[in-house]
């Protein structure tokens, strides 16, 4: 008897473009389900753009019914204002799976790159190429969608260790 697949939503947050990717995971085997990019209106207010991103992720959750979600952590860049806005976008997209009752894991960009490419400082083209190797049926049409699939792949690879760690922290066997 085979285990039921776990459906994972990966999200690469951005204020302009938020990538999303959905994969199924059974043991170590992963398969592509869907991916895309949620775009906010650059002429809209910040609050409206955050609402657009949140609503976009809600629609992905309704359409694909993931069991778990994973989001890339914010990196700090030289522009504090841009970092703050990225953090706000990240919060808006993390809220959608949390409100849907999904566990939400977070992964550093370097861990995502190392998991998928083997190097923590890989370029976006390398990530997209390895996502295509690992998920041959994937059709990521943007770097953001490919990055989101990489986040989902990272979660598929690390979720077992995270579950064991959580069990130990709760005092389980």
pLDDT single digits (tens) 87-97: 999 999 999 99
Q: Could you say which of 24, 68, 144, 147 is catalytic?
A: 144
Contacts of 24 (CB under 8 A, 6+ apart): 5, 6, 7, 8, 30, 31, 33
User: Are the C-beta atoms of 73 and 93 separated by less than 8 Å?
Assistant: no
Which residues does residue 68 pair with via DSSP β-bridges, in sequence order?
A: 8
Q: What is the pLDDT of residue 164?
A: 54
pLDDT band at 151 (very low <50, low <70, confident <90, very high): very high
Q: What is the pLDDT of residue 24?
A: 98
Q: From CA 39, how far away is CA 56, in angstroms rounded?
A: 8
Q: Could you say which of 43, 48, 59, 72 is catalytic?
A: 72
pLDDT single digits (tens) 5-45: 999 999 999 999 999 999 999 988 999 999 999 999 999 99
Catalytic-residue membership of 144: yes
pLDDT single digits (tens) 53-76: 999 999 999 999 999 999 999 776
pTM, to two decimals: 0.90
Strand ranges in 16-162 using DSSP code E only, listed in sequence order: 17-26, 29-39, 68-72, 104-107
């Amino acid at each position: 008897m085979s285990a039921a697949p776990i459906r994972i939503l990966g999200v690469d947050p951005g204020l302009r473009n938020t990538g999303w990717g959905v994969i199924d995971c059974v043991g170590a085997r992963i398969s592509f389900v869907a991916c895309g990019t949620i775009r906010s209106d650059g002429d809209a207010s910040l609050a409206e753009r955050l609402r657009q991103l949140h609503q976009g992720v809600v629609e992905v959750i309704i359409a694909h019914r993931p069991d778990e979600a994973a989001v890339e952590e914010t990196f700090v860049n030289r522009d504090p204002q841009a970092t703050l806005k990225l953090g706000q976008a990240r919060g808006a997209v993390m809220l959608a799976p949390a409100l849907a009752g999904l566990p939400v894991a977070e992964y550093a960009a370097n861990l995502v790159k190392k998991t998928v490419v083997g190097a923590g400082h890989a370029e976006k083209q390398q990530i997209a190429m390895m996502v295509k190797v690992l998920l041959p049926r994937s059709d990521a049409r943007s770097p953001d969608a490919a990055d989101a699939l990489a986040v989902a792949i990272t979660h598929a690879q690390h979720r077992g260790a995270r579950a064991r760690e959580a069990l130990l922290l709760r005092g389980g066997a």
